Chains A and B, each alone.
Chain A
């Protein structure tokens, strides 16, 4: 148990659906991250939030929309996804957005787009 929880753990959605992934951290951290882990690529950083402000957006398609309402919660809103978006989506948090701070990962949401 890392102190980072994600819901749902599994999600199946059609290409026309809208859904949201939720991440919550109970560690008092100031930085939160979304990563995508697909079968054929290394773990890819999608978004970084530091003190509720987005500080990195790695050329992610607009069908993924992050939201960070406070430092404990991070959402990833999904809209008109493609089958190639099927992957494990991992949330992480760290004390601050600096290299020295360890990132703690949640268990991930396994997303399947049909």
Chain B
């Protein structure tokens, strides 16, 4: 079945860039998402990318997609303490009839002042 994998933990210093990585197995993935979950809260959609794109930039966030390697990354520039949260990669496909999201286990980002 479909699988999405992420590293569990990342620690950076305030002001540095953070790069969170994700790999997925479904070659028919059409949409790839990054969600953020702060303590005690639900998931907040940060950004998404269509599979026909290589890169998407939105203010401090840059998403890179390597479709050949099935690798997705989220770069956060000038990381702030408020960025400390769990970041989930998710994917879905409109090609196979499977339309619900498949999530990774999440990467906990810790930003040290």
| Residues of A that sit less than 8 Å from B by CB | 2, 4, 6, 33, 41-43, 45, 48, 56, 90, 92, 97-100, 102-108
Question: Which residues of A are found within 8 Å of B105, using beta-carbon distances?
Answer: 41-42
- Chain A, Cβ-Cβ closest to B41: A107
- Chain B, Cβ-Cβ closest to A40: B105
What are 25 contact pairs spanning A and B, CB under 8 A? A2-B44, A4-B42, A6-B42, A33-B100, A41-B105, A42-B102, A42-B105, A42-B106, A43-B43, A43-B88, A43-B106, A45-B100, A90-B43, A98-B94, A98-B99, A99-B31, A99-B99, A100-B31, A100-B94, A102-B33, A102-B45, A105-B35, A105-B43, A105-B44, A108-B41
Chain B: number of interface residues, binned into ranges: 20 to 34
Q: Which 5 A-B pairs have the closest CB atoms?
A: A105-B42, A43-B103, A99-B94, A105-B43, A99-B92
Query: Which parts of B42-86 form the interface with A (CB within 8 Å)?
Result: 42-45, 48
Question: Which residues of A are found within 8 Å of B100, using beta-carbon distances?
Answer: 33, 45, 48, 56
A94 to chain B, nearest CB (A): 10
A43→B73 CA distance, assembly (Å): 19
Question: Which residues of A are found within 8 Å of B30, using beta-carbon distances?
Answer: 99
Query: Which parts of B11-29 form the interface with A (CB within 8 Å)?
Result: none
| Residues of B that sit less than 8 Å from A by CB | 4, 30-31, 33, 35, 40-45, 48, 88, 90, 92-94, 99-106
Residue among A43, A102, A103 with the most chain B CB within 10 A?
A43
CB–CB B44/A42 < 8 A: no
A26→B33 CA distance, assembly (Å): 23
A60 to chain B, nearest CB (A): 13
- Chain A, Cβ-Cβ closest to B3: A42
CB–CB B42/A2 < 8 A: yes
- Chain B, Cβ-Cβ closest to A96: B99
Question: Which residues of B are found within 8 Å of A90, using beta-carbon distances?
Answer: 42-43
Question: Which residues of A are found within 8 Å of B94, using beta-carbon distances?
Answer: 98-100
Question: Which residues of B are found within 8 Å of A100, using beta-carbon distances?
Answer: 31, 94
